[in-house]
Structure 1
Amino acid sequence: MEVRRRKVDVLKASKNGYESGPPSRQSSRPSSRASSRTRNKHSSSSLSLSGLTMTDNKSKPSATSQATSKTPYLHIKPVHTCCSTSMLSRDYDGSNPSFKGFKNIGMIILIVGNLRLAFENYLKYGISNPFFDPKISPSEWQLTGLLIVVAYAHIFMAYAIESAAKLLFLSSKHHYAAVGLLHTMNTLSSISLLSYVVYYYLPNPVAGTMVEFVAVILSLKLASYALTNSDLRKAAIHAQKLDKSHDDEHEKESGSSSSSSDETDTLVEADVIPAYYAQLPYPQNVTLSNLLYFWFAPTLVYQPVYPKTERIRAKHVVRNLFELVSLCMLIQFLIFQYAYPIMQSCLSLFFQPKLDYANISERLMKLASVSMMVWLIGFYAFFQNGLNLIAELTCFGNRTFYQQWWNSRSIGQYWTLWNKPVNQYFRHHVYVPLLARGMSRFNASVVVFFFSAVIHELLVGIPTHNIIGAAFFGMMAQVPLIMATENLQHINSSLGPFLGNCAFWFTFFLGQPTCAFLYYLAYNYKQNQ
């Protein structure tokens, strides 16, 4: 009976404490041991509930924990007290949820998937030789060096032509038709002569690629040098005519009218010749050192003056050189360890009596992953390390060689962001002049892509000795793709750019390895014949 009476007293005390606050010291004394046992039981029960956080015993408990620890009825606390929406529902109106966890698991899946392919490749082929032997014979090395010398001969020829135009300008004999014709012949011969020798007399594709790359860069720079100096010469002649007319008017008119004419001439001359060229006006820019600097500078657009840095930073030179060499070795390893075996296995499928399209598609998708990795590393090696290395050695100041092309919302935006030197060249010397002649924007863009397609075909088809048109038609196909992805921008403010970026990556992911394999297939077919 005594034990039962104590339990009843404990229940009454706990009930009174829950309804009217904590019990007094006197009321808790008779049942101190039972109260302590009850509190410990409640405390352990509250800690075992899922969703509750364990706190330090020394910290001050909250009002909810006090009430929970003092009531024995733990299962009556309401859980569902308001209306809410699932976080992934379309009508969720809370704060924007974070999906960083899904991004992390996506990266883990990507890494594990590529590691699986790496282990599969190792078990099947082993490790390839990390030092690539281009197998260039001594005679091919000699021919390559001779072609580089021929390239420099075209540079000196351009300087000689422009020096003759300078003498005509200084003697006021403005007959420049022959100057333009000579520049045109020099530019066309630079690309045609070198390409002809590479295609017919330089069988090694590695040596041929080096020479053809120099030939394309040389022809573009020679054209820019001729066009820019032609406009500078015309602007200087125009300024001379303005000065002469001003002198004639000065003799006939009064001082006030002469002052007005002087102001007009100054404004016209300032509009014609950029003020940035004032420190080296035409014909003072026609020097051999000025032309050679343009040849080595990491740009395709000629200017008499460029922004320059004060000094060469040795730390940046060493870092860019080290990264460039390391990334080139990594690219070489990826090509011969992964891409080459895939292309070899895919090559055998094309010489079977019946084509296995399923296996061919599987090999091309596997090749696409390696090709994309090689291309991204190559982009960083060339545009970030290579061009910045040249810019540092030449103190070239403007180093915006690319912009955020990876976030391109359309294919057209990609072509304006990823290769700024080429984009600036075609915009400066082809696109804007065509617009000035009255051509529409669409037609001018088609002309630009036509020139770009020809250059791509030369860079790939000439060294591999296969002019099959894959690079040419691949570039021309960009025009309808640009129109299609531009229309995606009008779908929705957020969905349109997303679809445009996915379309850009998808076409690039599959188009580039397919084009590369077509040239590899044509090269091997020709070699077997």
Structure 2
Amino acid sequence: QSHAGLLNLCIVVLIAVNSRLIIENLMKYGLLIRAGFWFSARSLGDWPLLMCCLTLPIFPLAALMTEKWAQRKLIRDHVSILLHIIITTTVLIYPVVVILKCESAVLSGFVLMFIASITWLKLVSFAHTNYDIRVLSQSIEKGATHGSSIDEENIKGPTINSVVYFMLAPTLCYQPSYPRTAFIRKGWVTRQLLKCVVFTGLMGFIIEQVSLLRDP
């Protein structure tokens, strides 16, 4: 499906809401862009944030282990739900604590929270989908779904390969299996990356020019 309409709507809303403020601000204060706000020499020394980012894969592995235990009935459903809540909450709190402790540059903190937020959304979907799969599997075992057609490919438990693919794939909705194209559409991937860079820069410009007003 094409999301061009939604993208155009976001652009219109973004420009319509902020255009007047940006023009007035430019006329009054001039250009207020500071390179040091987003990136500075201190950004290269944000090793704690880099280490925090590199340790984020621990949380998907913890979620996978939780599902494995629940699938083997080593823990009850309410225990697995509690563990997923702890995992998803920690994946957001952990980077925030590191950022506040290190007083990092905005760009480094933004990238870390961006990755952590995506990880959180993926883990929430992972927990919900696997809970539904377990419920459906239990119904099949009890014979409650007799006569209904169920694709076994869609009710299999998670594996390390499926979790790794899900965490790297550009989707926030977990499925046991995904339809794939015969090859990677490099042009489409390049366009999406370009859009990400352009709109991130536009948001940064709005933050610098409007939200962080200061005397000239």
Same fold (TM over 0.5): yes
Distance change >3 Å, CA 130–CA 240, structure 1 → 2: same
Distance change >3 Å, CA 317–CA 178, structure 1 → 2: closer
Q: Which amino acid aligns with 1:138?
A: L
**Distance apart, 1:209 and its partner CA:** 2.1
Q: Distance in 2 between matches of 1:333 and 1:216?
A: 18
Distance change >3 Å, CA 330–CA 282, structure 1 → 2: closer
**Distance apart, 1:224 and its partner CA:** 2.0
**What is residue 111 of structure 2 aligned with on the other side?**
210
Higher relative contact order at CA 8 Å, sep ≥6: structure 1 or structure 2? Answer: 2
- Choose the corresponding residue for 1:239, options 122, 125, 140: 140
**What is residue 189 of structure 2 aligned with on the other side?**
317
**What is residue 153 of structure 2 aligned with on the other side?**
279
**What is residue 174 of structure 2 aligned with on the other side?**
302
State how 1:96-111 maps to structure 2 within 5 Å.
none
**Distance apart, 1:233 and its partner CA:** 0.9
**Distance apart, 1:187 and its partner CA:** 1.8
> Contact 1:161 / 1:183 at 8 angstroms: preserved in 2?
yes
| 1:342-377 deviation digits (Å, cap 9, x = unpaired) | 8214xx9xxxxxxxxxxxxxxxxxxxxxxxxxxxxx
**What is residue 61 of structure 2 aligned with on the other side?**
156
**What is residue 522 of structure 1 aligned with on the other side?**
none
Whether 2:123 is the aligned partner of 1:187: answer: no
Q: Distance in 2 between matches of 1:193 and 1:341?
A: 27
TM-score scaled by length of structure 2: 0.70
Percentage of pairs with the same residue: 23
**Distance apart, 1:330 and its partner CA:** 5.5
Whether 2:165 is the aligned partner of 1:293: answer: yes
- Choose the corresponding residue for 1:331, options 196, 202, 212: 202
Distance change >3 Å, CA 331–CA 239, structure 1 → 2: same
**Distance apart, 1:184 and its partner CA:** 2.3
**Distance apart, 1:167 and its partner CA:** 3.0
| 1:419-439 deviation digits (Å, cap 9, x = unpaired) | xxxxxxxxxxxxxxxxxxxxx
Q: Distance in 2 between matches of 1:332 and 1:176?
A: 42
- Choose the corresponding residue for 2:49, options 144, 150, 153: 144
Q: Distance in 1 between matches of 2:211 and 2:81?
A: 50
Q: Which amino acid aligns with 2:68?
A: S
Q: Which amino acid aligns with 1:301?
A: C
**Distance apart, 1:236 and its partner CA:** 0.5
**Distance apart, 1:180 and its partner CA:** 2.7
> Contact 1:187 / 1:222 at 8 angstroms: preserved in 2?
yes
| 1:97-116 deviation digits (Å, cap 9, x = unpaired) | xxxxxxxxxxxxxxxx99xx
**What is residue 71 of structure 2 aligned with on the other side?**
166
C-alpha RMSD of matched pairs (Å): 3.7
State how 1:2-81 maps to structure 2 within 5 Å.
none
TM-score scaled by length of structure 1: 0.31
Q: Distance in 2 between matches of 1:317 and 1:145?
A: 25
**Distance apart, 1:186 and its partner CA:** 1.7
Secondary structure class of the residue paired with 2:155: coil
Distance change >3 Å, CA 176–CA 200, structure 1 → 2: same
Q: Distance in 2 between matches of 1:216 and 1:160?
A: 21
Distance change >3 Å, CA 217–CA 241, structure 1 → 2: same
**What is residue 14 of structure 2 aligned with on the other side?**
none
| 1:23-48 deviation digits (Å, cap 9, x = unpaired) | xxxxxxxxxxxxxxxxxxxxxxxxxx
State how 1:81-480 maps to structure 2 within 5 Å.
125=30, 134-135=39-40, 136-140=42-46, 142-168=47-73, 175-242=76-143, 265-267=146-148, 270=149, 275=150, 277-283=151-157, 286-325=158-197, 327=198, 331=202, 334-335=205-206, 339=209, 343-345=213-215
Q: Distance in 2 between matches of 1:299 and 1:222?
A: 12
Q: Distance in 2 between matches of 1:151 and 1:339?
A: 33
**What is residue 487 of structure 1 aligned with on the other side?**
none
Secondary structure class of the residue paired with 2:72: helix
| 1:432-465 deviation digits (Å, cap 9, x = unpaired) | xxxxxxxxxxxxxxxxxxxxxxxxxxxxxxxxxx
Q: Which amino acid aligns with 2:213?
A: M
The answer for unaligned runs of 5 or more in structure 1 is 1-112, 244-263, 349-529
> Contact 2:166 / 2:174 at 8 angstroms: preserved in 1?
yes
> Contact 1:128 / 1:333 at 8 angstroms: preserved in 2?
no
> Contact 1:154 / 1:190 at 8 angstroms: preserved in 2?
yes
**Distance apart, 1:341 and its partner CA:** 9.9
Q: Distance in 1 between matches of 2:171 and 2:111?
A: 18
Q: Which amino acid aligns with 1:344?
A: R
